[in-house]
Amino acid sequence: TPSSDKGRLFEGNSDAHGIKDNHIDPPIIARYIRVYPTDSYNRPTLRMELLGCEVKGCSLPLGMENGEIKNPSLARLNQEGRVNAWQSNNNQQWLQIDLLKAKKITAITTQGCKSMSTEQFVIIFSPLIHYFVYFQVFVGNKNSSRQVKHFLNPPIFSRFIRIIPKTWNRSICLRVELFGCDPS
């Protein structure tokens, strides 16, 4: 309950000009957020922006991380082990995800693996696999551990998504989750 919640401790930035991202996971539903500085240099000061979404929105994971989408080269977020991501053998390959039926896709999260990452990629999509439509170029990951999330505006309505790497660090390596809902 809100009255018994002791809150969460987040790390702030270490200088006056940097930006520190903190993610609330699992997400919360709130009308008010109260911030209590616990440590500061000189005086406590804060500029803050909260990012969220509508409660009844279309932003559910579409099944990569939990395994609902079967084996798109095991490109799942937060997986450990030897084979924990999609890796390309050359720069002419792409990762294709079949959602099994058309979905409304509203966001994509990417992550690198080990010491490799895909720094820039293109998304193309197709409702029927015969004809793919170019969507957009995205900035991916600069390191292998941090997740980067992009909201698709406008959303994509499609069954098939292809992610085409354009630039990368060391080697093409990618873990991914798509977010959205049924189009109804």
Where in the chain are the domains?
A: 60-181
Backbone angle region of 73, left / alpha / beta, with phi > 0 → left and psi within -120 to 50 → alpha: left
- pLDDT exceeding 90 applies to what percent of the chain? 26
Of the ranges 4-13, 19-28, 125-134, which one carries the lowest mean pLDDT score?
Answer: 4-13
Of the ranges 26-40, 62-76, 128-142, which one carries the lowest mean pLDDT score?
Answer: 62-76
What is residue 178's predicted lDDT score, i.e. its pLDDT? 93
- From 179, 174, 176, 178, select the one nearest 93 (Cα to Cα): 174
pLDDT band at 73 (very low <50, low <70, confident <90, very high): very low
What is residue 55's predicted lDDT score, i.e. its pLDDT? 59
pLDDT at 168 over 80: yes
- In angstroms, the Cα distances linking 154 to 25, 110, 132, 135 are 25, 19, 17, 10
CATH superfamily assigned to domain 60-181: Galactose-binding domain-like (2.60.120.260)
- From 120, 165, 114, select the one nearest 144 (Cα to Cα): 114
The mean per-residue pLDDT over the stretch 58-78 comes to 66
- In angstroms, the Cα distances linking 109 to 14, 90, 112, 145 are 26, 23, 11, 12
